[in-house]
């Protein structure tokens, strides 16, 4: 990945103020330093309309003062190169001349950006100073062994509302690419994270400032399709997929640590599963010694998140549904056993969530995401251009996607035979095949016209969701057996409930299978 055009490409990390000096004197920084350390005071004022029209469009507009120097900057939304802590966005910047009071916004510059219409409309509505980021910035110029040039900046200060008293402390490291390859930024950050208490910062100063003003409740980040051009190479497509998975994982980290809503863990688990599926696509293209550490770390994170998610489903969905069924039947015979099971599940759930949070708060989690980012940013994932896989990586992604999708569909069609009457084990095998196919369709859908992918994806999603619901019932029985014992009354109730779920959904499952098995394969060349 190389910087090109008017773009800002930077890796952003949070750190405690007590670690600032350690970052600046770290051996990994000293090894690539190319000049003197510089300290400056920056005061950046961010502008928007009263209804924050620009922020909602992903546009940032600021005036920054550094000593006697003034800069006007306009930034656009993050582009697909972002992920695993890296933020890449278009950036336009101009010096302004000012007197003692500072310059006004130079609105004539709006016409020089791709967002001139949105900016002009915001200007007509009224642009006002919304918040200020005031920091002391320490910068160190860097040059890496391959001549990549970058700047490491440590910002310490606060974000505060332009009117009012709301404040947010700020302490972060930015490693900004000037020229060359972005994988160097990740490798430096990985070395720092091995020794220091760093965390990936997914939000820009602008995003944090607007969140401070709006008091909006954060929401879990769901999976998003990677943005792919139809003629993209296999290597670039796979890198975009890796970054998309990493974005979902990292965007849910703060919620996992601070929020009670179980959806945060659920969405991070989905992102981790998607990442594992993406890495599996690459096993014949990349050397095992490069891929194995990433696959092992992804498996570690999945195992830390899995028990918490399974117990969340049991506590919040399965047990309440069974309790409601017991009440509607007009009998109280099983209520005591269910109450006892719920109490024991609650304790296990709390411990599992603490375990998941400890994993996400650990240096291992940060280093894992940075390693994913470095891997995705390295040209051809480090594969030598003379090696046989390099030809596949350089070829159009469609030529790689078609046989993958065909194989996975064939596998699901084989395992899904007689699905409505299949055993739980056979259904589980079909569910795994459906999940693998669904991830592949999500990864590669951007290579094909949306009108061709829509119906197939919808049919597959309906089938997989139904199989997932039946699997949740089977998992619930296993959890109850582990908690209360295989012959306990509560386990027997869950076993009966799971059987009823299977029987009651047989017709709907048959219909979902019929619908999917007749869906047109969107990757067909015809």
What is the reported pLDDT for 5? 46
Q: What b-and-e string marks burial along 345-377, b requiring 16 or more CB atoms within 10 Å of the CB?
A: beebbeebbeebbebbeeebbbbbbbbbbbbbb
What is the reported pLDDT for 265? 98
Burial grade of 489 (CB within 10 A; 0-12, 13-18, 19 or more): middle
Burial grade of 524 (CB within 10 A; 0-12, 13-18, 19 or more): exposed
β pairing state of 128-143 and 60-66: unpaired
Q: How far apart are CA 287 and CA 390, in angstroms?
A: 11
DSSP 498: H
Q: What is the pLDDT of residues 41-68, one digit of tens each?
A: 999 999 999 999 999 999 999 999 998 8
- Residue 274 CA to its chain's centroid (Å): 10
Q: Which residue has the tokens 């500072």?
A: 102
Main-chain phi, psi angles of 329, to 5 degrees: -75, -10
pLDDT at 75 over 80: yes
Average pLDDT over residues 136-153: 97
What is the reported pLDDT for 330? 66
What are the structural domains, with CATH classification, of the chain?
7-216 (2.40.320.10), 272-517 (1.40.20.10)
Q: What are the residues whose beta carbons fall under 8 Å from the beta carbon of 526, sequence distance 6 or more? A: none
What is the reported pLDDT for 117? 96
Say if CB 403 and CB 222 are below 8 A apart: no
Helix (H, G, I), strand (E, B) or coil at 223: coil
Q: How far apart are CA 63 and CA 230, in angstroms?
A: 38
Q: Where are the alpha helices (DSSP H) in 378-520?
A: 388-394, 397-415, 424-444, 450-484, 489-504, 506-517
Q: What is the pLDDT of residues 479-508, one digit of tens each?
A: 999 999 999 999 998 999 888 888 888 899
Q: How far apart are CA 234 and CA 509, in angstroms?
A: 35
DSSP 333: T
Q: What are the residues whose beta carbons fall under 8 Å from the beta carbon of 342, sequence distance 6 or more? A: 315, 319
What is the reported pLDDT for 3? 39
What is the reported pLDDT for 351? 97
Rounded to the nearest 10 degrees, the angle between the axes of helix 450-484 and helix 288-313 is: 60
Q: What is the pLDDT of residues 298-348, one digit of tens each?
A: 999 999 999 999 999 999 999 998 888 877 776 666 788 889 999 999 999
Q: How far apart are CA 481 and CA 504, in angstroms?
A: 23
Q: What is the pLDDT of residues 175-231, one digit of tens each?
A: 999 999 999 999 999 999 999 999 999 999 999 999 888 877 889 999 998 889 888
Q: How far apart are CA 419 and CA 319, in angstroms?
A: 26
Burial grade of 21 (CB within 10 A; 0-12, 13-18, 19 or more): exposed
Q: What is the pLDDT of residues 179-193, one digit of tens each?
A: 999 999 999 999 999
What number of other Cβ atoms are within 10 A of residue 507's Cβ?
Answer: 10
What is the reported pLDDT for 313? 94
Average pLDDT over residues 462-468: 93
pLDDT at 79 over 70: yes
DSSP 378: S
Q: Which residue has the tokens 């802590």?
A: 85
Picking from 276, 197, 285, the residue whose alpha carbon sits closest to that of residue 15 is: 197
What is the reported pLDDT for 420? 79
What is the reported pLDDT for 327? 79
What is the reported pLDDT for 331? 65
- Residue 248 CA to its chain's centroid (Å): 2
What is the reported pLDDT for 4? 43
Least confident of 256-260, 377-381, 425-429: 425-429
Q: What is the pTM of this model?
A: 0.93
Average pLDDT over residues 95-116: 88
What is the reported pLDDT for 408? 95
What is the reported pLDDT for 435? 94
Helix (H, G, I), strand (E, B) or coil at 368: helix
Helix (H) or strand (E) holding 175: strand 167-179
Q: How far apart are CA 213 and CA 155, in angstroms?
A: 21
Say if CB 112 and CB 149 are below 8 A apart: no
Count of residues for the chain? Answer: 526
Q: How far apart are CA 117 and CA 227, in angstroms?
A: 24
HSE at residue 493, side-chain half, CA atoms within 13 A, is 23
Integer CA distances (angstroms), 294 to 87, 163, 286, 489, in order: 21, 47, 12, 43
């Amino acid at each position: 990945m190389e910087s090109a055009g008017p773009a800002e490409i930077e890796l952003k990390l949070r750190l405690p103020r007590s670690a600032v000096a350690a970052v600046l004197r770290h051996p990994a920084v000293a090894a690539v330093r190319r000049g003197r350390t510089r300290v400056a005071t920056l005061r950046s004022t961010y502008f928007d309309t009263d209804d924050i029209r620009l922020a909602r469009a992903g546009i940032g507009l600021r005036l920054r003062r550094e000593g006697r120097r003034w800069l006007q900057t306009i930034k656009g939304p993050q582009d697909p190169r972002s992920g695993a802590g890296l933020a890449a966005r278009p950036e336009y910047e101009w010096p302004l001349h000012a007197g003692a009071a500072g310059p006004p916004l130079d609105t004539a510059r709006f016409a020089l950006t791709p967002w001139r219409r949105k900016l002009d409309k915001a200007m007509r509505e009224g642009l006002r100073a919304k918040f200020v980021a005031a920091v002391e910035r320490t910068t160190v110029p860097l040059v890496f062994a391959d001549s990549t040039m970058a700047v490491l900046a440590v910002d310490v200060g606060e974000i505060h509302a332009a009117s009012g008293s709301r404040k947010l402390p700020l302490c972060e490291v930015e490693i900004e690419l000037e020229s060359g390859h972005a994988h160097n930024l990740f490798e430096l950050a990985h070395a720092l994270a091995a020794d220091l208490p760093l965390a990936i910062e997914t939000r820009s100063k602008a995003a944090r400032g607007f969140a401070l003003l709006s008091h909006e409740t954060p929401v879990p980040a769901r999976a998003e399709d990677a943005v792919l051009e139809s003629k993209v190479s296999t290597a670039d497509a796979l890198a975009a997929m890796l970054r998309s998975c990493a974005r979902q994982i990292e965007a849910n980290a703060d919620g996992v640590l601070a929020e009670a809503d179980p959806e945060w863990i659920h969405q991070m688990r989905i992102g981790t599963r998607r990442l594992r599926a993406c890495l599996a696509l690459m096993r014949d293209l990349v050397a095992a010694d490069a891929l194995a550490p990433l696959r092992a770390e992804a498996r570690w994170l999945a195992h830390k998140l899995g028990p918490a998610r399974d117990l969340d489903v049991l506590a919040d969905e399965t047990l309440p549904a069974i309790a409601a069924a017991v009440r509607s039947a007009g009998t109280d015979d099983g209520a005591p056993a269910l109450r006892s099971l719920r109490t024991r599940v609650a304790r296990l759930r709390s411990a599992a969530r603490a375990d998941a949070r400890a994993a996400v708060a650990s240096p291992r989690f940060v280093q894992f995401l940075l390693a994913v980012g470095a891997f995705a940013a390295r040209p051809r994932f480090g594969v030598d251009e003379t090696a046989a896989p390099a030809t596949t990586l350089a070829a159009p992604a469609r030529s790689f996607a078609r046989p993958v999708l065909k194989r996975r569909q064939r596998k699901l069609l084989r395992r899904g035979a007689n699905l409505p009457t299949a055993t739980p084990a056979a259904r589980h095998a079909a569910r795994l095949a459906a999940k693998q196919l669904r991830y592949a369709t999500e990864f590669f859908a951007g290579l094909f016209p949306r009108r061709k992918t829509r119906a197939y994806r919808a049919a597959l999603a309906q089938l997989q969701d139904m199989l997932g619901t039946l699997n949740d019932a089977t998992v619930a029985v296993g959890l109850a057996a582990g908690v209360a014992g295989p012959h306990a009354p509560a386990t027997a109730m869950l076993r009966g409930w799971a059987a009823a779920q299977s029987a009651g959904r047989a017709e709907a499952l048959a219909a979902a299978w019929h619908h999917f098995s007749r869906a047109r394969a969107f990757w067909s060349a015809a």
